[in-house]
Amino acid sequence: MSNELSLTSGRANVMVYDDVNKKWVPAGTTNGFAKVHIYHHVVNNTYRVVGRKLQDQEVVINCAILKGLKYNQATPTFHQWRDNKRVYGLSFSSVDDANSFANTMLRAIDNL
């Protein structure tokens, strides 16, 4: 990640939606907070979301931010978006973290 800049990071419980059972499940092997970054690869002008569990650094999310992504701020601390495979949910530890992440996410999408 040396050629990628972290534009923001926040503390969130990273979830994915289990379409079969219609419920949110932890994105990693266990529930728990992760440090979730938005990285910018400046040369390629690409962006991605990468999150690692605070406890053991497990990578629980690593997904591209693609042009036209619809970022849904469902509640002040629960934000979500889809890719072609799954639905991601970030349950932030604070409204400030959520707002900072959302502002950077919306700027990234705008810049694609």
By beta-carbon proximity to ligand 8VK, the closer residue of 63 and 78 is: 78
How many Å apart are CA 99 and CA 103, to the nearest integer? 6
Give yes or no for a contact between 38 and 112, defined as CB atoms under 8 angstroms apart: no
3-state secondary structure string across the chain:
CCCEEEEEEEEEEEEEEECCCCEEEECCCCCCEEEEEEEEECCCCEEEEEEEECCCCCEEEEEECCCCCCCEEEECCEEEEECCCCEEEEEECCHHHHHHHHHHHHHHHHCC
Interaction residues for ligand 8VK, span 36-75 (CB under 6 A): 70, 72, 74-75
80 binds ligand 8VK (CB under 6 A): yes
In whole angstroms, the minimum distance from the beta carbon of 77 to ligand 8VK comes to 8
**Binding segment toward ligand 8VK, per CB under 6 A, in 3-11, 47-55, 57-65, 77-85:** 77-85
In whole angstroms, the minimum distance from the beta carbon of 31 to ligand 8VK comes to 10
State the number of binding residues for ligand 8VK (CB under 6 A).
14
91 binds ligand 8VK (CB under 6 A): yes
Which residues contact ligand 8VK by CB under 6 A? 15, 17, 24, 70, 72, 74-75, 78, 80-82, 87, 89, 91
